[in-house]
RNA sequence: UGGGGUAUCGCCAAGCGGUAAGGCACGGGACUUUGACUCCCGCAUUCGUAGGUUCAAAUCCUGCUACCCCAGCCA
């Protein structure tokens, strides 16, 4: 066994240096989602980076919900996110926390800063604050409230907390530098008034700390050493440092923020805002609709945690903006499933075949291996009868060139059974093929000498009398058409919806082997030639539902120029 | 036109002064009771660009260019 080489990255290089220089003695990370939606594939990159980084250095990772905006957050998401992290195989050994647990600490620091002249209550309106902030090229100007006495700010701040003022009336601001070329340093807001019930603290507070204040404080309280985040926070880093510095006396650690590029996947919607629109607009059945790029949806669709982690491992971590080809994700899924999923036969789009020389009542129980490379996975029985179903696409009355499945005059092998010759077909009044007629070569039963004869094609099949009907859902992930043209980014809600692939779901009524009756929700099988299918965890008793995870590579279609 | 970043094969990504890893995709071939899988073979004389330093540069220096992020009382 070769030990897969764990590739280093620039973050680990930086941490190696921090450890070498003595800046830190250990490593402690945190994964800080805001509970305002479910985790999607894009979050996995940060999640894996946080957990694996700590693991690499023998440290721990905290799960901290960044719940500082009660207007958008809900308990449902907290529970969902925790379930998803566990499903991926990670555990917050460092502990479970909520930014809201630090409200009191944040408040104390705020009062301290007011007293030290580092913060002040500003009564400018939101519009005025924007005007005073200046622009990208012009410096801002000081708020007229900037130099009010600390005692005055303190009094106002306490009354803000007491609920004496309406939302928007005033905010608490850090006193940094209104002329800074970095806009984030122009006296950023620390606290705003919000009469919203918080999913954890209820009505206890009517003032809530902003991310730029609460996040570094939370990191420092928890003793985080390396605070990993995405690139857009790069110019918040000086602010992060400022907050940690000013609060140093009241907090145990001085964490370091390191940024890396977030994951983008070709044609995949990776914005919580848009995903929320799909859910709330009823375009999908929910966050776990198998067409969604959320983890809960991918799980339901049959993606494995192993495949996703392998994918994240392969894309690497760097600082360049990048968009990873969806094909890589699908490759990882196929590779993982190909080696582990039991094989089974099911016909998704059935076409009846009558074995004309097969006795009416004859049943032949054939042994089918569960996996060609893993004998230890055992085998099961499939029963051949006079009438069977094959896939519609496996028969052509008039074959195209290089077609070596079933057509009149051609011989094919029924997987694990016999070689049959196609003699013709029956049609209805409209000319549609209703049944195909074949003759079985009785000397070619699987396992006998005669079976060693070579034929070009092999087809999967299901008995027409001994089977279980099921519903196959061929989900395609919701993908966006590549937005072309100059106005590509001006995609408003309408454009966004209209650019989604329309035929992203196809429901088929097929037949599967009895063997599949024993499948448990979540079990995935490779249906011969037609792809990987997962028993839907959402299926109800009765008609079983299998979702397609991902299709097989189809070189056949390419050869035919389709 | 302020500030912060990034530029290595179609897509990711190693490389950290000594003469371009790897994966995906793609092309060709072998094998095949899944046209899958597997297996071979091919795929950057060149690292955004123009100069400079050096025996030697993707790696150092300088100047350009392109793209991304920032003007929420969101995170």
C1' of nucleotide B75: residue with nearest CA? A211
pLDDT digits (tens, 9 = 90+) for A44-98: 999 999 999 999 999 999 999 999 999 999 999 999 999 999 999 999 999 999 9
Residue with the two structure tokens 């994240």: A312
Distance from residue A317's CA to nucleotide B45's C1', rounded to whole Å: 29
Answer whether residue A500 shows pLDDT above 90.
no
Residues 146-165 of A with CB under 7 A from strand B: none
Asked if A74 CB < 7 A from strand B, the reply is no
Mean pLDDT score, A258-278: 96
The residues of A that are catalytic are 34, 262, 272
What integer pLDDT is reported at residue A504 of this predicted model? 85
What integer pLDDT is reported at residue A537 of this predicted model? 86
Q: Are A269 and A493 a contacting pair, CB within 8 Å?
A: no
Q: Are A197 and A203 a contacting pair, CB within 8 Å?
A: yes
pLDDT digits (tens, 9 = 90+) for A352-395: 999 999 999 999 999 999 999 999 999 999 999 999 999 999 99
| Nucleotide nearest residue A457, measured CA to C1' | B35
Distance from residue A322's CA to nucleotide B53's C1', rounded to whole Å: 33
Provide the token pair at A12: 């680990």
| Residue among A464, A448, A294 nearest A385 (CA) | A464
| Nucleotide nearest residue A192, measured CA to C1' | B73
Answer whether residue A275 shows pLDDT above 70.
yes
What integer pLDDT is reported at residue A487 of this predicted model? 46
Q: Measured between alpha carbons, how far is residue A161 from residues A115, A129, A306 in Å? A: 16, 21, 47
pLDDT digits (tens, 9 = 90+) for A154-203: 999 999 999 999 999 999 999 999 999 999 999 999 999 999 999 999 99
Asked if A490 CB < 7 A from strand B, the reply is no
Give strand B nucleotides closer than 7 A to any protein Cβ: 1-8, 10-16, 21-27, 33-38, 67-75
What integer pLDDT is reported at residue A561 of this predicted model? 58
Q: Are A242 and A174 a contacting pair, CB within 8 Å?
A: yes
What integer pLDDT is reported at residue A486 of this predicted model? 40
Mean pLDDT score, A511-536: 95
CA distance A171 to A125: 9
Average pLDDT for chain A? 94
Q: Measured between alpha carbons, how far is residue A549 from residues A107, A294, A333, A448, A524 in Å? A: 49, 14, 8, 35, 8
Provide the token pair at A74: 């809900």
pLDDT digits (tens, 9 = 90+) for A17-34: 999 999 999 999 999 999
Mean pLDDT score, A254-272: 96
Quote the percentage of chain A above a pLDDT of 70: 96
Q: What is the pTM of this model?
A: 0.95
Answer whether residue A513 shows pLDDT above 80.
yes
Residue A485: pLDDT band by 50, 70, 90 thresholds? very low
Neighbours of A533 (CB within 10 A): 31
Residues 169-208 of A with CB under 7 A from strand B: 169-171, 181-184, 188-189, 192-194, 208
Q: Are A31 and A65 a contacting pair, CB within 8 Å?
A: no
DSSP alpha helix (H) spans, A117-194: 126-133, 150-161
Residues 543-562 of A with CB under 7 A from strand B: 552-556, 558-559
Answer whether residue A479 shows pLDDT above 80.
yes
Residue A538: pLDDT band by 50, 70, 90 thresholds? confident
ipTM score of complex: 0.97
Asked if A139 CB < 7 A from strand B, the reply is no
- DSSP conformational letter for A150: H
| Residue among A514, A515, A502, A512 nearest A546 (CA) | A512
C1' of nucleotide B6: residue with nearest CA? A320
What integer pLDDT is reported at residue A556 of this predicted model? 77
Strands A411-414 and A419-427: antiparallel
Answer whether residue A514 shows pLDDT above 60.
yes
Distance from residue A232's CA to nucleotide B62's C1', rounded to whole Å: 29
Asked if A372 CB < 7 A from strand B, the reply is yes
Mean pLDDT score, A265-278: 95
Q: Quick one: three-class SS letters along A50-79?
A: HHHHHHHCCCEEEEEECCCCCCCCCHHHHH
CA A1 to chain centre: 31
Q: What is the rounded end-to-end Cα distance, in angstroms, of chain A?
A: 41
Asked if A441 CB < 7 A from strand B, the reply is no
Residue A559: pLDDT band by 50, 70, 90 thresholds? low
Answer whether residue A550 shows pLDDT above 80.
yes
Provide the token pair at A296: 């809960």
What integer pLDDT is reported at residue A5 of this predicted model? 53
Residue A503: pLDDT band by 50, 70, 90 thresholds? confident
C1' of nucleotide B2: residue with nearest CA? A137
Answer whether residue A228 shows pLDDT above 60.
yes
């Amino acid at each position: 066994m070769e030990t897969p080489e764990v590739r280093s990255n620039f973050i680990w290089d930086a941490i190696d240096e921090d450890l070498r220089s003595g800046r830190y003695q250990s490593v402690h990370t945190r994964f800080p989602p805001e509970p305002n939606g479910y985790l999607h594939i894009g979050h996995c990159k940060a999640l894996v980076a946080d957990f694996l980084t700590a693991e690499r250095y023998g440290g721990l990772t905290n799960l901290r919900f960044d719940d500082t905006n009660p207007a958008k957050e809900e308990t449902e998401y907290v529970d969902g996110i925790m379930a998803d992290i566990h499903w991926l195989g990670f555990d917050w050994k460092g502990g479970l926390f909520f930014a809201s647990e630090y409200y009191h600490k944040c408040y104390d620091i705020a009062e301290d800063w007011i007293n030290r002249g580092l913060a002040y209550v500003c009564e400018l309106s939101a519009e005025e604050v924007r005007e005073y902030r200046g622009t990208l090229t012009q410096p801002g100007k000081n708020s007229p409230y900037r130099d009010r006495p600390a005692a005055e700010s303190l009094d106002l701040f306490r009354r803000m907390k007491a609920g004496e003022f309406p939302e928007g009336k005033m905010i608490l601001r850090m006193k940094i530098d209104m002329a800074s070329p970095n806009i984030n340093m122009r006296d950023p807001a620390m606290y705003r008034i919000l009469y919203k019930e918080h999913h954890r603290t209820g009505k206890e507070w009517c003032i809530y700390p902003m991310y730029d204040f609460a996040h570094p404080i939370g990191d420092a309280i928890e003793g985080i050493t390396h605070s990993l985040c995405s690139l857009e926070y790069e110019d918040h880093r000086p602010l992060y440092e400022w907050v940690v510095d000013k609060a140093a006396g009241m907090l145990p650690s001085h964490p370091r923020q390191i940024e890396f590029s977030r994951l983008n996947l070709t044609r995949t919607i990776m914005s919580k805002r848009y995903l929320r629109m799909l859910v709330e607009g009823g375009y999908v059945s929910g966050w776990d609709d198998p067409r969604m790029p959320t983890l809960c949806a991918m799980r339901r669709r049959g993606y494995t945690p192993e495949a996703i982690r392998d994918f994240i491992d392969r894309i690497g971590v760097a600082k360049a903006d990048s968009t990873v080809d969806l094909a890589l994700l699908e490759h990882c899924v196929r590779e993982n499933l190909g080696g582990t999923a039991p094989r089974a036969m099911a016909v998704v789009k059935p076409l009846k075949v009558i074995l004309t020389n097969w006795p009416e009542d004859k049943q032949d129980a054939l042994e089918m291996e569960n996996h060609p490379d893993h004998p230890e996975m055992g085998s099961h029985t499939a029963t051949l009868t006079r009438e069977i179903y094959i896939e519609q696409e496996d028969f052509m009355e008039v074959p195209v060139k290089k077609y070596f499945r079933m057509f009149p005059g051609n011989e094919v092998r029924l997987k694990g059974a016999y070689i049959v010759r196609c003699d013709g077909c029956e049609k209805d009044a409209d000319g549609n093929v209703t049944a195909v007629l074949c003759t079985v070569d009785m000397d070619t039963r699987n396992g006998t000498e005669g079976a060693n004869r070579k034929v070009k094609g092999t087809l999967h099949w299901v008995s027409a009398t001994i089977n279980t009907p099921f519903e196959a859902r061929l989900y395609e992930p919701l993908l966006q058409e590549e937005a072309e043209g100059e106005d590509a980014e001006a995609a408003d809600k309408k454009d966004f919806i209209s650019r989604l692939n329309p035929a992203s779901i196809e429901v088929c009524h097929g037949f599967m082997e009895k063997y599949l009756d024993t499948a448990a929700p979540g079990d995935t099988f490779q249906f011969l030639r037609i792809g990987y299918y997962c028993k839907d965890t959402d299926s109800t008793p009765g008609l079983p539902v299998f979702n397609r995870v991902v299709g097989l590579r189809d070189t056949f279609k390419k050869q035919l120029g389709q």
